[in-house]
Amino acid sequence: MKRLLAWTVALLAAAVLGGAALAANESPNMPKQKEFRIERGLSPQALACIECHKAENPGIFADWAHSRHASAGITCLDCHQADEHDPDVASGHFKQYERADSPWGKSEYRVAIAAAVTPKDCSRCHPDEAKQYAQSKHANTMEIIWKIDPWLNQGQNSDFERANGCFHCHGTVLAIKDGKLDPLTWPNVGVGRVNLDGSKGSCAACHTRHRFSVAEARKPETCGQCHLGPDHPQMEIWEESKHGAIYNGAGTTWNWDAAPGTWTPGVDYRSPTCAACHMSGAGAVLTSHDVTERLSWELQAPLTIRPQDFKAFPAKSDWQDERKKMQQICLQCHAQQWVESHYSQMDGAVLLYNETYYKPALAKLEELFAKNLLPKDAYFRSPLWTEFYELWHHEGRRARMGSAMMAPDYAWWHGFYECKKRYVVFMHEADELIAHNKKAYVAQDFPGAGGSTQKPPQLFGPEAGK
């Protein structure tokens, strides 16, 4: 009897364990290897690209295999293929077709490809998006910073500081060196990258390769790659706001994969992200890849001005029309009085910054120039000039952007409070120099300087910098 009972228990245990194992294997939460089957008609060259990269770069292949591109039969060649004589052809890639260790390394699969995929390439399937992007400040940021930035125009930082810092967000001017992309300019997916085919920007700045996910581009972390830190802390400001708090509490439940043009507030998401306000469509407002639409102030400028008055890159539309677009986005979730009152508060903060902090400080700086107490080209070599610079570039931006995005800690403690401290120190030091007719200290040796001051001829013509 005991032996029969033992066998019965053993059989029941085996059945339970077997059923559990079967259930586990069939559970939708259990990871399974994705099997990609090529069932559409692809050219031999396209198939060779896929199979070779599947073996050589499994991460690239996996991203592509999970993408909408793969589902639509869009292969490596649809994005990377180039003409034999294009300036951006990866000549070294031709050696891949001479390999004896790969069944895909044969001459019949040879095709010219470009490593850097550009908006011009993407425009073959996404013409409207490419056109909108091309007219944005994102795409044209290299032109903008070369017009206004003393770091570049005065050579105040080195080429490697720029390559690893500034240009990873702003973009590089791609160049060929010894038959390859110049390592000082590549790898780079900056929003304003100047490409060898004449186009500007990189779609992969937001839709990272090779998944090119619309969901990824809608999430704030994508914008936060560049829009963070002491001078443009939009990511931190947004996280502090009620919008960010709601996202952090419930964002994992939202529908990020809605088809382009259909992502709807109140249906797919409850609180706006950067993309929801500045790019996505809602109500009567259409989706746009020009992130500089819908703006009624240039909050990053030293003196806050209207976008069409920004000399480095004036907007082509009227700020009042763009404000109405942004307010229509706000009205999807807020009442008219809420929206109007918010804009009234923001406008008040902007005018306060202009009149109380920036204009008096600028007047004092110009007095120092006029009395020959501070050279106009001292820039970061003079601590006093740096005080003025950070008043608008750091604290002033945080105060204005914090007010615009409803982040009280950034509007006040990181913003106007710090503006007061910086203003008092700057004005005191300047008045002391004026009272004693003493020249401001200017360092003769500034570390890390020496970067090229030649404006890119691709943007400013062949005579640039001469």
Domain ranges of the chain: 47-115, 117-212, 252-448
Reported confidence tier of residue 10, pLDDT bands at 50, 70, 90: very low
Give the least confident one: 15-19, 49-53, 102-106. Answer: 15-19
Residue 353, number of CB atoms within 10 A of its CB: 25
Phi-psi region of 443 (alpha: psi -120 to 50; beta: other; left: phi over 0): beta
CB 199 within 8 A of CB 134: yes
Reported confidence tier of residue 278, pLDDT bands at 50, 70, 90: very high
Distance CA 191, CA 166 (A): 11
List, for residues 295-317, the tens digit of each pLDDT value: 999 999 999 999 999 999 999 99
List, for residues 332-362, the tens digit of each pLDDT value: 999 999 999 999 999 999 999 999 999 999 9
* Token pair listed for 180: 């390859």
Distance CA 347, CA 429 (A): 31
Q: What is the pLDDT of residue 282?
A: 95
**pTM score, two decimals?**
0.88
Distances (CA, A) of 262 to 240, 246, 270: 27, 21, 15
Residue 83, number of CB atoms within 10 A of its CB: 9
Reported confidence tier of residue 48, pLDDT bands at 50, 70, 90: very high
Backbone angles phi, psi at 45, to 5 degrees: -70, -40
What is the mean predicted confidence (pLDDT) over 236-240? 98
List, for residues 123-152, the tens digit of each pLDDT value: 999 999 999 999 999 999 999 999 999 999
Q: Name the residue with tokens 């007219």.
A: 135
CB 296 within 8 A of CB 326: yes
CB 256 within 8 A of CB 219: yes
Note the CATH number of domain 252-448.
1.20.850.10
Distance CA 437, CA 265 (A): 61
Q: Residue 22 pLDDT > 60, yes or no?
A: no
* Token pair listed for 164: 């690893």
What is the mean predicted confidence (pLDDT) over 89-104? 92
Q: What is the pLDDT of residue 37?
A: 54
Residue 24, number of CB atoms within 10 A of its CB: 10
The average confidence (pLDDT) of the chain is: 91
